Structure 1
Amino acid sequence: MAVFNELQRKIGGPASSLDRGALIAAAEQERQALIPELEHALADARRRLVSASGDETRGDDLFIAANEIRQLAACANRPSAGRLAHLLASYLTHCADRGEMAAAQVTVPLVRAVDQSFAVTEGDPTLKAIVDESARLIQHLGAAGD
């Protein structure tokens, strides 16, 4: 019980008395302040993703870059890029689990889709169509990782 009272003291009283709206607004303001740093990290991961594309000896690099994009994209207001990167990572995992080499006919277009998604405004119907078709392809290959 002493720990609970100590926590209440640190936050200024019971959590129920906190202004949730103000806390959410402050958290959103902090997230917005991080977007330039997130965009920089995304640009770096994007460069590494494109660089590793098509080189079957760099599958690990491709997977790592795709996962970094997947993890950072939502926080940087780029959910479509994150979804495409997730699909790519799922396909790479599927191939590795089966002991197969990832097919460049699949990875190269997915990498291109991830890369080009940064040039398109989120919500654009073309971008949505690319995400939907990519998801159908990965599902058809049995590699859907949702």
Structure 2
Amino acid sequence: MFREMRRGKQLLSMEDTVAVMDRCTNGVLACIGDEDYPYAVPVSYVYLNDKIYFHSAKTGHKIDAIMNNPKVSFSVVDEDTIVSEEYTTYFRSVIAFGKARIVEGDERLEAFKAFVEKYSKDQPEEDKHNKVFGCIQSYVIAIDIDHITGKEAIEYVKAK
């Protein structure tokens, strides 16, 4: 169903792909928006239990698009170094395809705790606890991943 990567030598291992997902802090969510125009929006996220989680306001373009068509893609750029004299960039990135859904209950709490730890781990435990259990004004969305690949510049492959 999903295309094979054209430059297979540049394919990251699953371990390296997960490492990129774990260390990066933002990605671009792409969905089908109004009038079938593509809608791509940067979001903060957490990668947990082989899923991508992000939060969203309960109204707006992003949530409307997801409710109309849950199929999405999500991309993360880990490295993007311009090498002027070679007329190229040395890059490392990940792209995932999946279906987005609103999460509730224990899954929501687990994802929200992971958010708080990733983005505010230096805050006092009581404050983090209050944030996790007190935030009800936003949705937590999961992307159930159907396909994920990482890719890096051939120069990085050759350097290994």
Question: TM class by shorter-chain length?
Answer: under 0.3
TM-score (norm 1): 0.24
TM-score (norm 2): 0.23
Which structure: greater strand fraction? 2
Which structure: greater helix fraction? 1
Larger Rg: 1
